[in-house]
Amino acid sequence: MVSATQLSSYLYCPRKLFLSNVLLVEEPPKQELVKGKIWHETHESINNAEEKLVCSINTKNYQDIFDIYRKQYSQILRNVIIKNKSALKEFNISLLDIFTDYWPCFEEEAKGHALNVVNFIERHDVYGNELWEKLTPKILSEQYFKSTKLMLSGIIDVLEVHANNGNTVYIPVELKTGKYPDKGMWDGHKIQLAAYILLLEDAGKPVSEAMIKYRGTEKRTLQMNTFLKEEVLDLIKKTNALLDSMTLPDMVDNKNKCKSCHFKETCYNQDTMKTLLKDAELRLKKH
């Protein structure tokens, strides 16, 4: 069984996926991973604290509600940054710099959540626990799905649960902090989102669309279609076959991908690769 992120990795470079998952070559810590961890942990903490925050609201004044959200989001971001200060220090990233970098995005989210709550209160005139029970969408973090039929698994960063007139619709959202294209989304991210749609549908959860949120951009939407579905199913087969084999994939044609790859020295060293393959074969025989 493969994960949605492994499908994306296979699409980018099958050889790199083979090195990390079959030959067990460890990738050194990267600055981007540390910053991404803070981004995801902050979102998760915000979503987990949402129920208590909403239940505390007893006003429909937008500025008051926005101030509540703003204060809580700011505190959560600070706490997550402090929690990861040792990792940040390794890359000489100051706590203040990353807060200054990330805060405008979370402040915008606070505005959006506050506006949604105000509009809901004005329509339904509910507060406290009743407000939370009826408020839509509900936002869930780090939702794990697995399908034996699809031979696929995945952890969805954010799952929006929209309820309307007795009907429930799910929207998976992927959070990314790296570079993003001018329009749309990178192919690997598209495959990842499509895989989440298949997992949700397999679990009996209706999906209207999927979204990706690159830091500093609006959410970008993906609609499933027959061609995309077939592409994902084909990638699942190819990725499972790769991870179950001892055949080293060829290098990618696009050598620009190799320039910043931390596996480059290992990957280009034939003697090292032969040793790693022998070690992997020995591990396989022992099991």
Q: What is the pTM of this model?
A: 0.91
Which domains occur in the chain, in start order? 2-243 (3.90.320)
Can you give the pLDDT at residue 72?
Answer: 97
Can you give the pLDDT at residue 194?
Answer: 98
CA distance 52 to 56: 6
Task: Report residue 36: phi and psi, to 5°.
Answer: -65, -35
* Residue 116 buriedness (CB in 10 A; 0-12 / 13-18 / 19+): middle
Token digits of residue 31: 């600055």
Per-residue pLDDT of the chain (287 residues; tens, 9 = 90+): 999 999 999 999 999 999 999 999 988 888 888 999 999 999 999 999 999 999 999 999 999 999 999 999 999 999 999 999 999 999 999 999 999 999 999 999 999 999 999 999 999 999 999 999 999 999 999 999 999 999 999 999 999 999 887 899 999 999 998 889 999 999 999 999 999 999 999 999 999 899 999 988 889 999 999 999 999 999 999 999 999 988 999 999 888 899 888 899 999 999 999 999 998 888 888 76
